[in-house]
Every structure is written in C-alpha cells, then in structure tokens.
Amino acid sequence: RAGPLPPGPAPLPFLGNVHQLTGKELWLVATQWAKRFGDVVHLHVFGQSLVFLSSPEATFDLLDKRGAIYGDKPALVMAGELCGCNNMVAFTQYNDVFKRQRTLLNQAFGSQVIPSYYPLIQAETHLFIRRLVADPSDYIKLTRRYAGGLTLSTVYGYQATSSNDKFLNLGEECVDILSNGIASGGGIWPVDIIPALKHLPTWAPGSGFKVKAAAWKAKMEEFIDQPYNFVKNSLKSGEYAPSFCSMLLEDEKSCTPQYEFDLKNTANSMYSASMDTTIVMFSHFLLAMLQYPEALVKAQKEIESVVGTDKLPTFSDRASLPYIEALLNEVYRWATPVPLSLPHRLMEDDIYRGMLIPKGSLVFGNVWAITRDERLFPNASAFVPERYLETVDAALARKRDPRNYVFGFGRRRCPGDNLVESSIWLLITTVLATLDISKAKDDQGSPVEPKVEYNNSIFRLLDRFECDIRPRSEHALKLLQDEC
C-alpha cells in the first residue's frame, strides 16, 4: 500500500461497517464520524471502500480539482443490471455514453438556454400559486405537479392535467423506488459485492432481492419509455407542443438508434431528478417562513419597496432584491436537499494528505456536515438570511456559497442547476409577494408546531406538516388571476 487508509469507525471482519450504514438520515451518522475521525473518513462494506468528505477543502481538492479521476459511477449489479438503471445519467459510468448525455443536457439546460424558458417558468409559477391558494393542504402534491410539470413540458412537450396525472404518478412511484429501495443505505447490495448471487434461482433462500429487482425493473422501463413514446406518437400525428425531445427528433436523419437511446435516457434523467429536489426546497422554504416569521416580513417589505404591489415580480427585478437573494442562499443551505450528494467512483488509486484512497472507492461529498459547520455558519441550525449580507473575502465567500455543494461536484455536478436558479427564485419571490405563511391553528386557536420528520434515504424530504397559507390580499389574488 502506498499509504495508510483514511481513519474511520472500526469494521467487523469481512462484513466491514455494513451495520453502521443506516437507511435513515445517514448524513447525521456520517457527520458524527467526521467529528471523531476528521474530514476524510474511510469505511468498507464487504471490502468495498466508502469515503466521506466533510469539508470544503476535501471536496474541492478531490471531487472538483481532481474531477477527471473522481467522475465515475460504480457499475452496480443491483441498480444497473438487475433494476435497469444503468443508462440513467446519475448511474452512467464516465465513458462515451455519459459524455454524449451531458452534451444533450447542456443543450437542454445550459445557462444560455434558460432565458428562453422564462415565459413558461412564469406561467407555471403563477398557476402553481393559484392552485396552492385553492388547496393549501396539498402543497407537496402541487409542488410535484409544478416541478414535474415544468420538466415534462420543457423536455417532452407534455401538459400534466392534474396532480393525479399518469406521468406524475409514475414519476413519484419510480423516484421513491430509486431513493428508498434501490439506492437506500448507500446503494450497495450483497450482489454488488458477490455478482455470482445474481444467478440464484428466485425460489432459493436469500433471493428476495431478485424478486424486488424484477418488479422495479419493469417500473423503470415504463418510466423511461412512456413519456418518450408520447413525444414520438405526437410527432407522428403532427400535433405536438415544441419541446427538447421534439426539437431533437424533428431531424429524422440524425435519429440513429444510438441517438434515440441517449435521448430517451437523458430525457428521463431530467424528469426524475427534478421532482423531489424541488419539493425539498419548497417545503423547507415554507418551514423557514413558519419558524422565522421575521425573515418573511423583511422579504415581503423588500419586494413591496422594489416591485410595488401593482405587479408580480419578474426576472428583471432580481438584481434589485438583495434580501431575497440572501434568503434563497439560506434556503439552499438550510434545506440541503441531497445531504450526501450522490457517490462518485474513484478511477485510480489516489494519495491525499499522505493517505491512500483506493481505486474503486465510492466517494461521498458530505454536504450536510459542510452546511452545518459552525466555523462557516455560526448558529448553523438557525435560518438566518442575514449571514449572506455580510461582506467577506472571496475565499470565504466561495466556501460559504451553498451552490458549491448542494448541486454536487466536479464532472457530475447537477446539470439542472441553471434551471433551478431561475425557477426556484421566481417561485419563492412570487409566493412572498402574494401569500402569507404562518403556523396552522388548532380548535382553540393556538398555533400548531410543525412536525419535522424525514423518511427518505437520499433526499431530505420533509413529511407533510400543518401550515396556514393564504393570499396576502384580494389585490394579490387578482394579480395572480389576471396573469393566468
């Protein structure tokens, strides 16, 4: 060995640290390891190395600067081969398929393309808020409809007709299978360590994973194929709304089977990645507004003084709303939508601070530990937008910018970040301009404290909590109605 492994909790013989990999809020446990062992922690599961990076320095040095060797994804037998996810972007290895997919993603959501979506984003945002006013209790389903609807529409030209739309339901079911089934607890299954297990007959003891995988694979195929077939059929009929897929399929000559294969999988990845992440952001924004009403009032005052009350905010107001910008930063940080990001596979042995990080390690950026680091964010558990109004030097500003972590790292950084930067800004700003958000009241009129529960292995998805959402005024409601 070229150096010692990074420190970490003691493993059991052969099994390694498998007993410590909880499926629920693993990021909390990983942050405890960081406090005990430092910002680079090593564990193993049946010999598979797992490395957790818990500081800006370690994530920037390895996942960003050395991104060329940290950009791979593991070839997982369970997720890839048995469950049929191997060609979804988040699972593709660092090869030609991945590079072709990223080119398509950049065509769809590169920063230069985003302004062309402004009218659509604006229309979907206003519709979402109107629906929210009509049924505030259903805010999670409505947020899924808004986020999924935005990608269904931009990517496939498909208009979701209700919160119970068939493609939205399929998306919800499949993203749940992905995060709470296939990728739960680090996503390593015994068959990933001993691939021969995939040959077990389904009647044999211990083969339950194969039964699950067969059912999940069938669902994943529907998820990838059905929206894509919708675009193909619409194109054939000649009646279609222009979309990313329709634009790329119009030129029949370039439609080789390989091209269609890439397009179908890339389109699906955009759709699947957009929903739960947006729900986490919006739910935490609501929670913050309930628990920190002074931030809500300050933000509303800023909007009133800059935008006024006779129109809804638009993208052209953005540069004049510094408090909203600080509030959005704080929502990213406080929500931490994907607290352990998604693991990257190291492609060759690497030496870092004299320690060996072995080839094949799965490397996690512990975003939770960084966004809760008291040295960077004093009183880190509190929601304090003002922390982003302080003037700090460029190096510290970079370390404190949540966008350097919440969208992942290096070559695998989220390709939806530009879209989110615009869509979430408008969503939050328009909600603040038009709605009041406060704690729900019980029968006696006393405020009900929101119950804060997380039950998802990958995303920091909040269970639905009670809250009171209502229009700020008849005038605000009318503005929304006039816009739709």
Annotated binding site for heme: 414
Rounded to an integer, what distance in angstroms lies between the CA atom of residue 418 and that of residue 439? 32
List, edge to edge, every strand of the sheet that includes 48-53.
40-45, 48-53, 362-365, 344-345
β-pairing, 48-53 vs 362-365, is: parallel
Angle at 451 between CA 448 and CA 456, to 5 degrees: 160
Q: Where are the extended beta strands (E) located within 217-376?
A: 344-345, 350-352, 355-357, 362-365
Q: Where are the extended beta strands (E) located within 6-161?
A: 40-45, 48-53
**CA separation (Å) from 184 to 22, 187, 189, 417?**
9, 5, 9, 24
**HSE (CB half, 13 Å, CA atoms) of 341?**
31
Stretch of 32-40, 131-139, 166-174, 274-282 lying at the interface with ligand HEM (CB under 6 A): 274-282
298 binds ligand HEM (CB under 6 A): no
DSSP state of 410: G
Among 76, 140, 263, 419, contact with ligand HEM (rule: CB under 6 A):
419
State in angstroms the smallest separation of the CB of 415 from ligand HEM: 5
Would you mind telling me the total number of residues written for the chain in this entry? 484
State in angstroms the smallest separation of the CB of 338 from ligand HEM: 4
Among 55, 59, 86, 277, contact with ligand HEM (rule: CB under 6 A):
277
State in angstroms the smallest separation of the CB of 268 from ligand HEM: 9
Among 341, 371, 418, 429, contact with ligand HEM (rule: CB under 6 A):
341
153 binds ligand HEM (CB under 6 A): no
Tokens 């997720």 belong to 79
- By rule CB under 6 A, what string of x and - marks binding of each residue 53-92 to ligand HEM? ------------------------------------xx--
- By rule CB under 6 A, what string of x and - marks binding of each residue 93-122 to ligand HEM? ----------------x-------------
State in angstroms the smallest separation of the CB of 150 from ligand HEM: 8
* Interface size with ligand HEM, residues (CB under 6 A): 26
Under DSSP, is residue 461 helix (H, G, I), strand (E, B) or coil? Answer: coil
- By rule CB under 6 A, what string of x and - marks binding of each residue 196-215 to ligand HEM? --------------------
CB nearer to ligand HEM: give 48 or 197: 48
- DSSP per residue over 104-144, as a string? HHHHHH-TTTGGGGHHHHHHHHHHHHHHHHH-GGGHHHHHH
The residues of the shown chain that bind ligand HEM, judged by CB under 6 A, are: 89-90, 109, 151, 269-270, 273-274, 277-278, 281, 337-338, 341-342, 406-409, 412-416, 419-420
